[in-house]
Structure 1
Amino acid sequence: MNATLIAVALSLVSAGAYAAAAVAQARLAGRTDPSTGVLRLLGRGAWWSAVGLNAAGALLHVAALKYGPLTLVQPLGALTLVVAVPLGAHAAGRRVTRTEWRGTVLTLLGLGALLPAAGGAAPHDTLSLAEALAVGAVTMALVAVLSRPGARPGLRHAAASGFASGVASALTQTLTVATTDRSGPLLSWRLVTVALLVSAFALGGLLLSQTAYRGGLGAPLAVVTLANPVAAAVIGVALLGEHLRSGAAGVVPALAGAVAATRGVVLLSRAQERTSSPAAPAHAVADRPAPRAAPSGPAAGASRAAEALPLRAEAVPGP
């Protein structure tokens, strides 16, 4: 089978797993006190279910990177948002809206225009140790800036999560190609360093997305979906020698596809923001003071009279 078709098929299944994980994380975030620390999540089964789905998506993503370049595999991550639409609607007990369908169609059409230009031969180039360390340092600095306290933390944390996940994918491709081509030792300082960076950025992206989903699923997931392929594509083009398969002639349809896919993601984000009406978290209900029992009999009349006295006193104008 053609390597590009294998990469696309694996990416589709990976997007489904990531979408299910995103919905699970968003539902968990909606039921969790914002002040709850990350360590408290480790004792919840819903958290580990999301981790399992993310792990399945990551394994399929790694396999896709073996058969396809970053510029092909990463844009297919936008399908995560497309799959999350019906899953989120089903979880909320509603139907998919017309705007959501429009966003889905635009996203699919945009990806269809991108694939012929992005699809190329299986990857062979890898990052050197110096390049991997430089990419890791720049990414850590960018994530630190985006994660600082300030306005709109959800979208900034989502952007940081997308960049971290995209860099993890780029480093994973280096790890996968280097270990499967058997052109060098399986255990070296470069591969160990790259493996540690992949683990750090993958875990960091997961925790950042969990924080971002506290404000809802639509907008944060859209930002993650857009930031992820941008980070990976920059590394693929700048350091791994990837390029458009159709050359200059493929630039125009690729740009048109990118615009359509971006518009579709924006529509899906806005639609999910309008249709989402999360219920009050359980901790808010628990913290609400219980109503006092109303007194009965003669005590009831005395209590009502006592409560009315201050109001009457305030109603009397002063001298």
Structure 2
Amino acid sequence: MTPDLQLPAAVSNLTPFQALMIPVALVGAVFLSLGAQFQSRGVKRVEAKLGKQSKGLSIGHVMALLGSGYWVLGTLMLGIAVVLQLISITFAPLIVVQPLGAVALVITTWFSSRSSGIPLGQPARRAVWTCIIGVGIFVAIAAFVGHESAITQPQLITVLLILAVVLALVLVSFRVVAKHKSALYYIVGAGILYGFVATLAKVTLNRFVNHTFDWVTVLAIVGVVVAAGLGGYFVQNAYSTGSADLVIAGLTVVDPIVAVGIGVIVLGEATGAPVIAVLGFVVAAAIAVTGVFLLAKHHPEAARR
């Protein structure tokens, strides 16, 4: 019997139509970057008028955002980004297209540098590349050891239970951490929540496509709405306490790590992966997260303070 040297489906069996989802995801990343820039400007302008809050954006601030042209335009662009992302993850493996949002980090950092008039220093560039390299290594490993399989009802229930625990932890920690106005807290929280949004959205869309809609799918839809709503609120607070490039760095690093991590650990997309691959996941994630912390220290707006 000859040894099985075939690559997993996510790499070797990518159909032309699935490959088309790669540019779709990349265009979505461009809209993600532009949307983040405009939303950030909208939040800054609203706070300039109404003042900053000590514990996150107030209801008055949130309502004022609806009248901000910059914020509304940014929201529309983010809406387009979400639609393109949903299309890509519906028809292509999550581990292939989800992390491509890291492209938005490069675009957003460049825009931040241009708008602030501060050139990107070498430390900021290293931070950006550290994020991208970490995500790239993570995805490369996932692509080689990962595979897609039918998602069972118990697996989906497990994801929902983990999300419930995460929501509880986020709500409890918010009362403690929010008063410190920590940009990294909001960014990491939003990234984790959006990671669940991406995973549950893919599962829900696949169940619609495969005509396997059931009561658990309804709970998944509720989970998507709740996680997306809370994640969106965290993002707005992140704009208030940090720069747009830092927000995008966190989202494009934490989001795919969480989404792919759920796929690997809960959905069994890396069943049978060697120990070295698992260690590679940990190292790559650590590299990417390190890049986020470095960017928090060296991004253009930080240099202006």
TM-score (norm 1): 0.73
Deviation at 1:19, TM superposition (A): 1.7
CA deviation profile, 1:51-73 (whole Å, cap 9, x unmatched):
11211121122122224444444
Matched residue SS, 1:241: coil
Q: Which moved more, 1:167-176 or 1:37-46?
A: 37-46
Counterpart of 1:100 (choices 124, 131, 134) is 124
Indicate the percent of aligned positions where both proteins have the same amino acid.
25
Deviation at 1:273, TM superposition (A): 5.5
Q: Which residue of 2 aligns with 1:207?
A: 233
Based on CA coordinates, which of the two structures has the bigger radius of gyration?
A: 1
Q: Which residue of 2 aligns with 1:298?
A: none
Counterpart of 1:145 (choices 172, 183, 186) is 172
Q: Which residue of 2 aligns with 1:22?
A: 36
Q: Which amino acid aligns with 2:292?
A: V
Q: Which moved more, 1:240-249 or 1:18-27?
A: 240-249
Matched residue SS, 2:89: helix
Contact 1:163–1:231, Cα closer than 8 Å, also in 2: yes
Deviation at 1:103, TM superposition (A): 2.8
Deviation at 1:220, TM superposition (A): 4.3
Count of paired positions: 275
Matched residue SS, 2:46: coil
* Aligned CA distance change for structure 1 residues 29 and 245 (closer, same or farther; 3 Å): farther
Q: Which amino acid aligns with 2:204?
A: L
More helix by share: 2
Matched residue SS, 2:150: coil
Deviation at 1:133, TM superposition (A): 4.0
* Aligned CA distance change for structure 1 residues 24 and 277 (closer, same or farther; 3 Å): farther
Q: Which residue of 2 aligns with 1:43?
A: 67
Q: Which residue of 2 aligns with 1:2?
A: 14
Q: Which amino acid aligns with 1:107?
A: C
Q: Which residue of 1 aligns with 2:7?
A: none
Q: Which residue of 1 aligns with 2:183?
A: 154
Deviation at 1:212, TM superposition (A): 1.6
Which stretches in structure 2 are left out of the alignment for 5+ residues?
A: 1-12, 54-59
What are the equivalent positions in structure 2 for 1:162-181 lying under 5 Å apart? Answer: 162-181=191-210
Q: Which residue of 2 aligns with 1:31?
A: 45
Which stretches in structure 1 are left out of the alignment for 5+ residues?
A: 279-319
Quote the Cα distance in structure 1 between the aligned partners of 2:24 and 2:292: 21
Quote the Cα distance in structure 2 between the aligned partners of 1:31 and 1:132: 38
Q: Which residue of 2 aligns with 1:65?
A: 89
Quote the Cα distance in structure 2 between the aligned partners of 1:109 and 1:227: 14
